[in-house]
Amino acid sequence: MKRHIDEDLSAVRQTLLTMGGLCEEMIHFAVKLLNSYDEGLMRRLQDDEERVNRLHIELDELCLRTLALHQPAAGDLRVVAAALKINSDLERIGDQAVNIGETSAYLAKQPPMRLGDIPRMAELASGMLKDALDSFTRGDVELANSVIRRDDEEDRLKSQTFNELVALMQADSSTIQRGLDHILVSRNLERIADHATNVAEDVVFMVLGKDIRHGGGHPVA
């Protein structure tokens, strides 16, 4: 039998996935801008951000309405609580993508410099977000755990990028401004991966009712 709450839960899921899809597109645009800056593409990135911001507010409203109208329990309650948290992470992923786009505008005015591990970091972060969203859709704990495990590799690439760029800047001071911009981009990508990891942790919690953050396997009511 279809329950009244199912319609609202389905709207919650759908809005979250629409937002997630936009965030994936934003990362894709941001990396394209880094390779070759283009005003038109930057505007599309900004348009996506506005849509994500609107959905951010809409999704919170939907979650609160679902809680108020249906007073969900157990698994349903955890879906809504997870959606409230994932919502914040997705909105912040969008912000990071816009930051990369803005830095790309500065970089485009300077002589080119090789991107090093940045494309690899972008690919990894983007794959983590995609899989975190898929794990939400399918309630797939194994996939969510694989996202969480990949975050160490992103951190390793970030440190490697940092060290390489510092060495380059020290060897040739004309690269300082560009080097810094690349460091900022690598931090943006690391934060996207962190947010994807948060999403995956929320999915594990949603499915198992277990809070695995901070290294715990703490059961949650």
State the residues that interact with a copy of itself by CB under 8 A: 53-54, 56-57, 60-61, 63-65, 67-68, 71, 73-74, 77-78, 81, 84-85, 88, 166, 169-170, 173, 176-177, 180, 183, 187, 211, 213-214, 216, 218, 220-221
Nearer to a copy of itself, 40 or 111 (CB): 111
| Least separation in angstroms between CB 32 and a copy of itself | 25
Residue closer to a copy of itself by CB (options 138, 213) is: 213
Joined tokens for residue 136: 């939400």
Nearest CB to a copy of itself, comparing residues 41 and 67: 67
Q: What are phi and psi of 55, to 5 degrees?
A: -65, -35
HSE at residue 107, side-chain half, CA atoms within 13 A, is 27
Minimum distance of a copy of itself from residue 202's CB (angstroms): 10
Residues 90, 107: Cα–Cα separation, whole Å: 26
Closest alpha carbon to 118 in 179, 195, 196, 186:
186
- Fill in the amino acid letter for 10: S
Do the Cβ atoms of 17 and 88 come closer than 8 Å? no
Q: Which residue lies nearer to a copy of itself by CB, 36 or 221?
A: 221
CB atoms within 10 A of CB 28: 14
Alpha carbon distance 32, 29 (integer Å) = 5
Least distance CB 53 / a copy of itself (angstroms): 4
Quote the least distance from Cβ 147 to a copy of itself, whole Å: 18
Choice between 131 and 181, CB closer to a copy of itself: 181
CB of 105 to a copy of itself, least distance (A): 15
